[in-house]
Amino acid sequence: MASSTKLFATVCLLALLSCSVQGQLSTTFYARSCKNVEQIVRSVVAQALRKEARMGASIVRLFFHDCFVQGCDASILLDAAPGIATEKNAFGNINSARGFEVIDAIKQQVERACKATVSCADILALAARDSVSLLGGPNWAMPLGRRDSRTANLGEANQLPAPFFSLSQLNASFAAKGLNFQDLTVLSGAHTVGSAICSAFKNRVWGGDSNIESSFALQSRQTCPTSGGDTQLSPLTIPNTNRFSNQFYKNLVARRGLLHSDQELFNGGFTDALVRKYSNDAKSFFNDFARSMVKLGNIGVLTGRSGEVRLNCRKVN
């Protein structure tokens, strides 16, 4: 408990934005209107992770893909409907984005406790935070007060960072959202948990990249043949412990990054020093990850009277 409190204090002191109030977001936003919301979210996420630890990585990815498309507004949760071209059909989401049922379960419980009060965008932000924490990663105070969008943006969702991106492409993508190369490097560390489908790394392990350790390439080919098998899964980080740690960076230093885009972070470029630092210092990684997640969660938020608080995360009111 003491170490968790210390990390909260560190994030508050060092984050670029205030930990208590960030713009119109606040860590005490629901203190009166729905005081038990964080306990409800954590309980449902914990239950989901007990059933399948990989779900934690999926929820974090869902949050990232939401925030990178017209801001952290829960637009990724909207199903197809008249006037809504769902982001679920984007190249980076179709057949891979998951965790929607967990968000639905949380929303149902929150609605029973606090009718029409807590946005789906805030539920997703809290679920991502709790997924990291419950898998052994850092905890942090998450500013709240986001509102939900009434629209989705399939076109922008089709421009999400891809597993074949170069370092310059990754940096440009993050910079367009107000995130710097440190945010890029540390948020990529979420790949310490989770899996990737064969089609995302097939070219890399079958000779497309030279910056890959040979035995790792051979091992990865076992679950990713040259022909077919495109949807077969491999862990993003080995050994696959389903625990949030700095192992991802140790793998990059050893040229064992599964995705081309991940290994780009340690390939003679300007992020090499940070990768090496995090590979040797888990505490620094945890502290910086918490700060960057807060920063990510403030991209393009709707507040005040903008947007709405959806009653069902899959459709507008």
Query: 14 in helix, strand or coil?
Result: helix
- The gap from C-alpha 146 to its chain's centroid, in whole angstroms, comes to 17
173 exposure class (CB count in 10 Å sphere: 0-12, 13-18, 19+): middle
* Residue of 54, 65, 291, 310 marked catalytic: 65
The reply, when asked if residue 87 is annotated as ligand binding, is: yes
Task: Judge whether 207 is annotated as a binding position.
Answer: no
Q: Is 260 annotated as a binding residue?
A: no
Closest CA to 302 of 163, 127, 122, 170: 122
CA-wise closest residue to 119 among 250, 29, 216: 29
Question: Which own/partner contact pairs does 155-161 have at CB distance under 8 Å and 24+ positions apart?
Answer: 156/69, 156/70, 157/65, 157/69, 157/76, 157/87, 157/90, 157/92, 157/93, 158/90, 158/91, 158/92, 160/65, 160/68, 160/69, 160/90, 160/91, 160/92, 160/93, 161/68, 161/92, 161/261
End-to-end CA separation in angstroms for the chain = 40
Residue 260 falls in the annotated catalytic set? no
Q: Is residue 82 marked as binding?
A: no
Asked whether residue 66 is marked as a ligand-binding residue, the answer is: yes
Query: 38: annotated binding-site residue?
Result: no
Does 191 show up as a binding residue in the annotation? yes
**Is 79 marked as a binding-site residue?**
no
Q: Check the annotation: does 69 bind a ligand.
A: yes
Annotated binding site for substrate: 161
Annotated binding site for Ca(2+): 66, 69, 71, 73, 75, 87, 192
Annotated binding site: 66, 69, 71, 73, 75, 87, 161, 191-192
Annotated binding site for heme b: 191
Catalytic sites, residue numbers: 65
